[in-house]
Amino acid sequence: MAGSPEIELEHLSREQAAAELARLAAEIAEHDRLYYAEDAPRISDAEYDALRRRNAAIEARFPDLIRPDSPSLRIGAAPAAAFAKVRHIRPMLSLDNAFDDEDVREFERRIRRFLNIPGDDIAYVAEPKIDGLSINLRYEHGRFAQGATRGDGSEGEDVTANLRTLRDLPLVLDGPAPALMEVRGEVYMLRQDFLALNESRRRAGEPEFANPRNSAAGSLRQLDPRITASRPLRLFAYALGEVSETVAGTHWEFLDRLRGWGFKVNPLARLCHGVDEALAFHHHIAAERAHLPYDIDGVVYKVDRFDWQERLGFVSRAPRWATAHKFPAEQAQTVLRRIEIQVGRTGALTPVAILEPITVGGVVVSRATLHNEDEIRRKDVRPGDTVIVQRAGDVIPQIVGVVPGKRPTGAEPFTFPTICPECGAHAERPEGEAVRRCTGGLTCPAQAVERLRHFASRNAFDIEGLGEENVEFLWREGFVRGPADIFRLAEIDRARLQRLENYKGWGRRKIDNLLHAIDSRRTIPLDRFVFALGIRQIGEATAKLLARHYGSLGALRTAMTEARDRDGEAWRHLLSIQGIGESMAKDLVDFFAEDHNVAAIDDLLAAGLTVEDHVRAAGPASSPVAGKTVVFTGTLQAMSRPEAKARAEALGAKVAGSVSRNTDYVVVGADAGSKAAKARELGVTVLDEDAWLELIRG
């Protein structure tokens, strides 16, 4: 495309400048699309660069005319101090997994039962599952307005400025678009770009990324968008978030609309009629996998009809209408050099296999987990052995076993240490447990540092700049001994803190950024706080459960103290929470019974930390059946039993199997039996199906 005759810059009027900027924005966007979406550029790189230079020159002269969709915004604005948080209007969920054909057939059977459709084929869209990171893109009146990472699913990070630098991302949608629309997709990196990036990092003496997925994530989460702009990130769009009007009736149709708006949609996606076609597609992709230019770890099947997706809804963290059919793990053989012992934050001694580096499924692996003492003995793994290493998706590589016949003569079995390699304290292994633990407590540097690192990590306090190395430094120098010290760092004498400057490039700027990042985390939701405490067995999901159940830190503490009485109400209540078993409950109560843990929490509060009470979602709490106990009996007409149960639960009701005095409603379908009679006997409200539907709609 030949550019229009150029007017010399100094002769350009405002009107002409505005008109030319508009033309350049459209033209450059079109070339981006041709280049990236169609792999069919129509101009040379030099001509393309000339267009961008012209655009930049005009903008430099008329800065107030810079357009929101200007191509220059794609190479970055000024660096931000830290990412703002974004609460997702609709949660960004994960996917259930299927590992073999039978799992997929069961997935389909569940859908049939739920929707009560015995006969016909269900249509699915099958798409490769890209191994990148998912993002939510918000468009307002067809313009890109905000982009966020998935984060923990309910809250992500605002990476708008960085996403603007992605050429696969349309800043303005082609053709009519809803007033509000969220498009979801995957940011990823081509394997070849990942290797080139690592190569240049190696040359620059910078740490390398472990795999394309990490390098994509690392590149997107840069505080300086100019760095993101320099990284070859790509984007496939594949899902709809919140939307102000109907844009399609099926997923397949939606993918088509995405293409029309200017998104890149995976060209391998296919509409499959019935589960057999979907499985055939999976086998086809599995065979193609090695030839694809990017990493995938499975195929996602999605029920095509949006109205069915809607009815199917969600179970805890994943939709019922989709599943990820994973590929079998990839394996390779290599030599085990030695076994190292790592000490975790709970003092657990974990054996790690140090390997001759080997490529497994496109990723270089040099370490793998050996889990524990018994595992080493059971598999009879000895230093010097040739071992089979396995990598499946995101998980840490594992040692599957030893290659028989390749053992060098004289290879000795590994003796597991009974002394902590970090602090020299005795390491004990209680009867019946698989794990050996250091008894050094917080005087063991490994435990102290690991706990602090966990405290500051992504899904806990999420303090940028407090990774492993820095935590270790701050701990060793005595700046930070307990979590509360993190929040007192700003009070430390600047001169002392400046000592950091001599350490690994910690300049004044980096210190400022760290203090700023810490400052932005002085308020934290209860669930994250509980997770950050690093209580044994209490992961994110359990922390959320506890937050939902107890509501506030005060209530949780009181309950945990009362629960020390194993005959009391508080202990029984704790055990009644679905998802909390006896051993977890014990770890929880023990944690709050230890003085130094209580002191650490008090100290945090004294340092000015605010722990936010858990806020209940508005939906269920305000519904007419929230908190009520419902029993369904007989055959329902409008929906299957599982669907009825799911709907009730989504509205905050508890669905029970049998009628008791605690039951609020019994919903009777056709041919109801003894339950209806029992309800009448106990004086429980009995509703027919219509009355029930009316109740939940009202």
Of 215 and 334, the one with the shorter C-beta distance to ligand AMP is 215
Q: Which does 438 bind (CB under 5 to 8 A by kind): Zn ion, ligand AMP, none?
A: Zn ion
Does residue 422 bind Zn ion (CB under 5 A)? yes
CA–CA separation, 58 and 273 (whole Å) = 53
**Closest by CA position to 623, among listed 689, 676, 692:** 692
Does residue 127 bind ligand AMP (CB under 6 A)? yes
Does residue 583 bind ligand AMP (CB under 6 A)? no
Let me know the angle formed at the C-alpha of 359 by 392 and 414, rounded to the nearest 5 degrees.
80
Does residue 435 bind Zn ion (CB under 5 A)? no
Q: What stretches of 551-640 show up as alpha helix (H) in DSSP?
A: 553-562, 569-576, 582-593, 595-606, 618-622
Does residue 278 bind ligand AMP (CB under 6 A)? no
Residue nearest to ligand AMP (CB): 94
- Cβ–Cβ < 8 Å for 592, 598: yes
Of 157 and 186, the one with the shorter C-beta distance to ligand AMP is 186
Does residue 159 bind ligand AMP (CB under 6 A)? no
CA distances from 378 to 337, 374, 381, 399, 409 (A): 19, 6, 8, 12, 20
Does residue 423 bind Zn ion (CB under 5 A)? yes
Q: What stretches of 306-372 show up as alpha helix (H) in DSSP?
A: 306-312
| Chosen residue from 95, 171, 312, 363 binding ligand AMP by CB under 6 A | 95
| Chosen residue from 123, 324, 399, 420 binding Zn ion by CB under 5 A | 420
Element (H, E) at 511: helix 508-519
**Closest by CA position to 294, among listed 396, 192, 195:** 192
Of 91 and 551, the one with the shorter C-beta distance to ligand AMP is 91
Of 189 and 659, the one with the shorter C-beta distance to ligand AMP is 189
CA–CA separation, 240 and 247 (whole Å) = 9
Q: Which does 689 bind (CB under 5 to 8 A by kind): ligand AMP, Zn ion, none?
A: none
Q: Which does 423 bind (CB under 5 to 8 A by kind): ligand AMP, Zn ion, none?
A: Zn ion
Residue 508's region, left for phi above 0, alpha for psi from -120 to 50, else beta, is alpha
Question: How many residues appear in the chain?
Answer: 698
Catalytic residue numbers, as ranges: 129
> Nearest distance from residue 309's CB to ligand AMP, in Å?
12
Q: What residues have CB less than 8 Å from 465, skipping those under 6 apart?
A: 510, 513, 514, 517
Does residue 231 bind ligand AMP (CB under 6 A)? no
Interface with Zn ion by CB under 5 A: which range of 442-450, 474-482, 601-609, 663-671? 442-450
Interface with ligand AMP by CB under 6 A: which range of 123-131, 366-374, 506-514, 610-618? 123-131
Does residue 150 bind ligand AMP (CB under 6 A)? yes
CA 248 to chain CA mean position, Å:
27
Interface with ligand AMP by CB under 6 A: which range of 126-134, 270-278, 532-540, 688-696? 126-134
Interface with Zn ion by CB under 5 A: which range of 110-118, 284-292, 414-422, 559-567? 414-422
HSE, side-chain direction, 13 A CA sphere, residue 27: 20
Does residue 125 bind ligand AMP (CB under 6 A)? no
Does residue 392 bind ligand AMP (CB under 6 A)? no
Read out DSSP for 234-257? EEEEEEEEEESS---SBHHHHHHH
Does residue 470 bind ligand AMP (CB under 6 A)? no
Does residue 137 bind ligand AMP (CB under 6 A)? no
Backbone angles phi, psi at 586, to 5 degrees: -65, -45
CA–CA separation, 183 and 237 (whole Å) = 7
Number of neighbours of residue 505 by Cβ within 10 angstroms: 8
Binding residues for ligand AMP, total number by CB under 6 A: 12
Residue whose tokens read 């209007």? 89
Residue whose tokens read 């998980």? 395
Interaction pattern, residues 306-345, with ligand AMP; x per rule: CB under 6 A: ------------------x---------------------
Q: Which does 589 bind (CB under 5 to 8 A by kind): ligand AMP, Zn ion, none?
A: none
**Closest by CA position to 530, among listed 515, 547, 551, 518:** 547
In the three-class reduction of DSSP (H, G, I as helix; E, B as strand; rest coil), residue 69 is classed as coil
Does residue 238 bind ligand AMP (CB under 6 A)? yes
Q: Which does 94 bind (CB under 5 to 8 A by kind): Zn ion, ligand AMP, none?
A: ligand AMP
Using CB under 5 A, list all residues that contact Zn ion: 420, 422-423, 425, 438, 440, 444
Using CB under 6 A, list all residues that contact ligand AMP: 94-95, 127, 129-130, 134, 150, 186, 238-239, 300, 324
